Chain A
Amino acid sequence: MEKKQIESKLVTQSIAESELSIEALKKILVQMDDAEFVEIDISDIRKIHLVYIRTLIDQEKLNESIIKPLTSCSKPSIQDCIVNSSIIPIPTFIEAKKQLFSGSILLFDSSQNLWLAVPLKNPIGRAIESSETETILFGAKDSFSEQVEQNITLIRRRLPIHELKAEKFTVGSLSETSVVLMYIEGLTNPDFVSTVKEKISEINFDLFFDSSQVAAFLEEHQNSIFPQFQQTDRPDVVTYSLELGKITLLVDNTPFALVAPITFFHLFQSPEDYINRWVVASFLRIIRYVSFILSVTLIPFYVALTTHHYQMIPIQTLLVLVDSRSKLPFTPFWEAFIMLIFIEIIKEASLRMPTKTGQTLGVIGGIVIGQAAVEAGFASNVLIVMVGISTIASFLIPNYLMTKANSLIQLMLLIFSSLLGIIGIALGIIAILAHLNSLSSIKQPYFSPVSPFFRKDWIDLFIRGPLVKMMERPEHLKPLKLKRYKTRR
């Protein structure tokens, strides 16, 4: 084990010490079809070598801003000729390699024995489009794309202040993914920043292609079903979070930013909450909490009542239930379990299917699962209605990761309810609450401001209070500046 480490150290040392030369570069770029070595003759005695990787650079710009100026320039120094782009001198081989693979063009002036790099990154990528995962009717439509620089632009436009810091880190031994940590200096609690920095420095993995993978390394509770980082592709959400005193991580090659610290209640907040009028927004937010509880407990309640507590069913409902259940082959638990699994299969399938076949899925799902299952005597009418309600209710939660966790909680409660009835559901809910209380997001309690209790933060918790009343930032985020307004002198 130790031997291997020493060997790998030696190899890195030898590359680092190897002299920066065209030959050395040719050696490492061998069998790479897109690696280009170009010589430009400026005068008889003066040659400039261009080394670049074709697929990583903007070829049009190469002509415009490097080749044309160089060929028509009579000045002795390259720096004086290329005026449109930034020029970075390269001292070492390692640095040269890094620049090469991040989309720069290496220039070697043989007469002066000078190595320079001109960043000319290929701008290929998605344009700024509207978010598909967090759609809203009103409000800003732009969303993040896969290019981290562009994403920073979107945030900087919204927060044009020098306190907005963007620190860059590189993670992943193979992917060399840039992760940008953003926060507002003098507002965000420095503990959050240091915690995240420390954790990022500890990351030891080869490839990152999404921010959720980065989150997996930063989370303190790996085995929980609750996300401890909010993933969002909306710049307005990120800006609002930064303003509250949270930190944001932008990961290159993914449109999803990570926001932390979050609480359980953040999963129920939608950007539209702050666009709607406060009464309407509060109502909608309450509806969201109610529908979460409904989607998690409705079917377990059905199973508990029909298996254990027939006394609690209103007699009118019992008439319907007895009638619809009398010919079924399954007990309520198995009936509900099978239906829930079916719904999960349909949900998963509809995600993977292209839109055109999606219609077929809807028809088959609706007719087969809905009507035919009842007519064939596999499921009762009442259960179908409940499965429908709870499935639709589960979609009201704005956080997609939470929607996924929803089904698992539902299944757990279902098993509890079939074993112990309502006391089972109560025990299950106690277990969930205990678990939520034990969670933390970058070392901040996950269930605050309920526990630990912050009275003032309740104005933006279950309701969304009027903005003019929300004069202070949430206390549970421990911001350095609590007041959101300028103090008058």
Chain B
Amino acid sequence: MVELQNVSVTYSSGVDALNNVSLKINDGDFAFVVGSSGAGKSTMIKLLLKEIDATSGVVTVNGYNLGKLKKRKIPEFRRTLGFVFQDFRLIPSMTVYENIAFVLRVIDAPLKYIRKRVPYVISLVGLHSKTNSYPDELSGGEKQRVAIARALVNDPQLIIADEPTGNIDPELSYEIVELLKGINDQGTTILMVTHEHDLVRHFGGRIINITGGEIVFDEVITGAEQILPEEELAQAMSEAAAMANQNGIIIPDRRIMTPDGEYAGSDLNGGAGQ
């Protein structure tokens, strides 16, 4: 579980990166965090990784109050997380197997367990044939799969994915999000930062929009392929439309549907934010 209570972050340069942000992501949720560059997304991720501390407010991740977490306890805390970077960050001198097994080495897992768990995770991301390949021998999409396997291998409660599709071909992006969704279905909480509106529109779900260091939108929106009860859909769409007009985010390319099943208008987003 992730909880931010009235969290503000002001850098030493005087820049207010986050301003009184409150947010709760429950166990098992899948949430997209969207927002333009400099909106505060990176700051939020740094906070959640305990790379930086909040200037004020309380940050709780997986039961750890990060403001009170002692330096020597940081490794223990980070072992409850999985992290997927935009630039993969695989260790080039290690094979796929070694890159993933490395996480279990860190937690001093028994060799027997490592030998069983790593191939399993590799097969989950569909890279069985690449077990002994080095990162340089993989495509962008494959590298990101390895990174996801690495994030997954120690069975974390929460996976934070920072622009995981930023460095790969658009068609492969869908596969990566599908993979993350699949992991989410098994009960792992996933927080995915992205600025790819097409993906968000396609998959829907909980969308948190950060703009200017504040959360300006936090709703569950259905994806184009998903069917929600009409009442909920109409409600969500109208709220999303209001937010879209205000903040320029893209919402699913759908029409408002009234509670009695009538379409209330034509395309809502009208290309907003594109």
Co-assembled chains A and B? no
Chain B interfacial positions (CB closer than 8 Å to A):
none
Chain A interfacial positions (CB closer than 8 Å to B):
none
